[in-house]
Structure formats: C-alpha cells, structure tokens
C-alpha cells in the first residue's frame, strides 16, 4: 500500500506508467471478470494506460481497454467442460509485450493466458504482480479424486505465485492460504473488495419481475453464480428439499450455468425451483433487488463478489462459515453465517429468516450501507498504487514521494 503525503497526486505520479493485465476470464459473469472489468473501466476514466489481455475466438464484450488474441487451438477445460480452454499465441504475445514497453504485468488467473503474461513479464524483466482470485487446489480437490492431480496443482500454483513481486489476496483467510503455499508474507497484500452500487442497488426492485418469470411462490430465495459442485450446491439441494417439505410458499431461483446444472435439475425435479441460466448485469440487478433472501453455500470462494452484489441490492445473505464470503457478511446484521456442511442448519436458517420479517427488513436496510464503503474508486487507487510501488520501489529516485507503510 502507498501513503499519500500532502500534495500526493497518484494520477499525476503514475500517469506515464503502463500496466498490462492478463486474464483467462473477462466475458463471463463471475467475480474475477467483474473485478477486471471494473478496474479497466476506472483506469480508462482516469486516462491511465491499462491494457487487459485475453485470448478467445468469441469475445462477448468489446471494451476499449481490451487486447484480444486469437487462440491457436480451442478446447474445453478438463473437469469443467463448460469453460473454454484456449492455447494463446505465445510468440505473438511476447513480441507485443516487448513492443508496448509495459512497466508492470498483472496476472489475474493462472491459466494459459495468465501463464503467457507470466512468461512475457519474466522475459521482459519487469515487475510481476498477481491476484489470487481462485483457490484452484481446493477446486481440484472437490472436482477430482486424483491425489496426483491435486499435488500437481499445488506445485504449479506455488511456483506460479512465488515468482511475483506482489500477490493480492481477496480476503484475510486466503492470505493465510498463500502463506501456507510458501508465498513470502512481505510480498502479500489484501486488496479491498469493490462494488458498483449503481448496477446493484435496492432501487432496481421490481415487484412484477417474478410474475413475468412465472414464479408463483410469494417467497423467493436466490442463488447466483456458477452451477458447479465446488460451490457446495449439493448441500443447498438437500437443504431446500427439507425446506420444501415444510412450506409451500417458497421458491428457489438459480441464476447461472455450469457442469452441475443437469444433476441439480434432476435432484430437484418436482420442486419449486426455477433455473434461469446466464443473466447479464441488468437482469442480475433486478433479481437481487426483487428477491427475499440470497444463499451462497460455497466453502472455497476467496471473496464472493455475488454476496457483495446481493447486499448492495438490499438482499440479506446466508453464507458458509468457511471461505472469503463470511468476511463480507456481518453475521446477524446483514445476513447469517451457517456451518458449511450441515444441510439441516441451512434449512433452519433460511426458514427462520423468511419467517422473521422484522429481522429480514432490518438486514435489508443495513446491508447496502455496509457495502457502500467498498467503492471502485477506493479499490482502484490501492490496486494502482501497488503497481506504482513495484515499478518505483520506496527509496528509488523515480519513486519521489512514494513511501511504504
């Protein structure tokens, strides 16, 4: 982090700094892609040189700060066939980075495109920074029974992040995970979460939304995110099955897609569950603000961007007691933290909050105010300042008035 001294102007100081970010996800609706798009939009607003590099044959978003490379080969991600896996043109990327003369490279994901940026930064001899957005070892452990694959993932993740000047953690819990991976604590920093409160706001509430969607039940609980087993959705299935045997006024609405979709639909066949598939930001804003309760049982998320979006929209949340989301839910104030392995506890938590309208309303009123402090402006300044610190270490002539604290 950087200290602002009197007259410190971060934009002026680092206006000439050129940062290239490499990511394997930008077009998806997930926390990683959302964060990268927010940082890109804020950098453009400030007229800073920030280029986001991707590799896909079908980019969904045409963004002015994006540089997309056509993949040499296309495929599907092992264990997760719904996600594309593209082989980037590494030689072309290395040449591009050399031409652009970036001052720093940021790696958002450790996939093929992230690895290309990692190689480019090492080859160019410029500072490497990265964000630990996703706990891939935990995902592999839940999606595969292979100990060999898990050990290989841990080895690769350790080598990947240990070579970086700075590693951003999305939550305090996963900062400790990085320490256990062998990352030097001096290189770690916890980046502030951020949320676009215009997109996700209680004012988007639409009382007619669920009638248009064909949802007949007056109480609606919402899940938003990847429909994948590592999100602990098998627990949610068991919890809502118990819930539906106790009451007939409640529906589960699922926004998202993923490899667990067919299994989840089969397991909940005959129950009041509505699968909406992929939803864009505008549709998500309406869903959050118009629902009664948000459930997110994941035990492996490093942050849980959707949990922030829900609270920003005035929606009380129920989250697991493991992982990053519990750090952005004020237990008993903006939501409830529940044991991540107990379907009965989840069923009881959902039912009690649905039945306690005064408490639910109080949480709905408290949640947006708690989330509003996580502004994009504040997060971007911390994000950009860490890159300036890597480019101009404290005490160097170029650093000028930069001091670490």
Residues 155, 250, single domain; the answer is no
DSSP label at residue 271: S
Residues 338, 223, single domain; the answer is yes
For residues 267 and 28, give the distance between their C-alpha atoms in angstroms, rounded to a whole number: 26
Residues 157, 283, single domain; the answer is no
Residues 44, 149, single domain; the answer is yes
Residue 185 covered by a domain: yes
Residues 214, 313, single domain; the answer is yes
Strand partners, 255: 224, 277
Residue 397 covered by a domain: no
Over residues 156-175, the pLDDT tens digits come to 999 999 999 999 998 887 88
Residues 384, 362, single domain; the answer is no
For residues 138 and 154, give the distance between their C-alpha atoms in angstroms, rounded to a whole number: 9
Query: What pLDDT is recorded for position 323?
Result: 86
Task: Give the pair of three-digit tokens for residue 206.
Answer: 């639409």
Domain count, the chain: 2
Residue 403 covered by a domain: no
- 154: confidence class by pLDDT, cuts 50, 70, 90: confident
The residue segments making up the domain with residue 288 are 202-371
Q: Which helix (H) or strand (E) holds 293?
A: strand 293-296
Residue 385 covered by a domain: yes
Residue 83 covered by a domain: yes
Question: What b/e string do you get for 147-157 counting C-beta neighbours within 10 Å, with b at 16 or more?
Answer: eebbeebbeeb
Residues 141, 239, single domain; the answer is no
Task: Give the pair of three-digit tokens for residue 238.
Answer: 């068991």
Residue 404 covered by a domain: no
Residue spans of alpha helices (H) in 144-246: 147-162, 172-180, 209-213, 233-246
- 1: confidence class by pLDDT, cuts 50, 70, 90: very low
For residues 30 and 225, give the distance between their C-alpha atoms in angstroms, rounded to a whole number: 7
String of DSSP letters for 104-122 = EEEES-SSHHHHHHHHHHH
Q: pTM for the whole thing? A: 0.79
Residues 130, 258, single domain; the answer is no
Q: Domain with 304 in it: what CATH number?
A: 3.40.50.2000
Whose CA is closest to 165, among 391, 395, 370, 405?
391
Over residues 178-216, the pLDDT tens digits come to 888 889 999 999 888 899 999 999 999 999 999 999 999
């Amino acid at each position: 982090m950087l200290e602002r001294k009197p007259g410190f102007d971060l934009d002026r100081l680092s206006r000439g700094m050129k940062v290239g970010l490499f990511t394997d996800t930008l077009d998806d609706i997930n926390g990683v892609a959302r964060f990268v798009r927010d940082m890109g939009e804020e950098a453009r607003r400030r007229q800073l040189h920030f280029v986001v590099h991707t590799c896909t044959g079908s980019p969904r978003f045409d963004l002015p700060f994006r540089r997309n490379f056509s993949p040499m080969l296309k495929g599907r991600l092992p264990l997760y066939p719904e996600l594309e896996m593209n082989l980037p043109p590494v030689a072309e990327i290395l040449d591009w980075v050399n031409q652009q003369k970036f001052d720093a490279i940021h790696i958002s994901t450790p996939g093929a495109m992230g690895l290309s940026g990692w190689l480019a930064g090492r080859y160019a001899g410029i500072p490497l920074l990265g964000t630990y957005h996703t706990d891939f070892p935990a995902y592999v452990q839940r999606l595969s029974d292979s100990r060999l694959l898990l050990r290989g993932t841990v080895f690769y993740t350790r080598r990947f992040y240990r070579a970086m000047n700075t590693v951003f953690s999305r939550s305090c819990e996963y900062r400790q995970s990085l320490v256990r991976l062998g990352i030097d604590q001096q290189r770690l920093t916890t980046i502030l979460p951020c949320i676009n409160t215009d997109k996700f706001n209680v004012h988007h509430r639409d009382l007619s939304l669920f009638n248009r969607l064909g949802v007949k039940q007056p109480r609606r609980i919402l899940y938003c995110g990847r429909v994948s087993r590592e999100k602990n959705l098998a627990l949610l299935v068991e919890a809502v099955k118990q819930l539906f045997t106790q009451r007939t006024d409640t529906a589960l609405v699922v926004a998202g897609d993923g490899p667990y979709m067919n299994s989840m639909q089969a397991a909940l066949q005959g129950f009041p569950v509505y699968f909406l598939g992929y939803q864009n930001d505008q549709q998500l804003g309406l869903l959050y603000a118009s629902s009664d309760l948000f459930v997110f049982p994941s035990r492996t998320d490093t942050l849980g961007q959707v949990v922030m979006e829900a609270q920003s929209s005035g929606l009380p949340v129920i989250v697991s007691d493991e992982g990053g989301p519990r750090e952005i839910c004020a237990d008993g104030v903006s939501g409830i933290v529940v044991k991540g392995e107990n379907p009965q506890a989840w069923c009881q938590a959902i039912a009690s909050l649905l039945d306690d309208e005064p408490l639910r309303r109080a949480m709905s009123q408290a949640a947006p105010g708690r989330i509003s402090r996580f502004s994009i402006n504040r997060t971007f300044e911390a994000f950009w300042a860490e890159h300036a610190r890597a480019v101009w270490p404290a005490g160097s002539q170029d650093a000028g008035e930069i001091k670490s604290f």
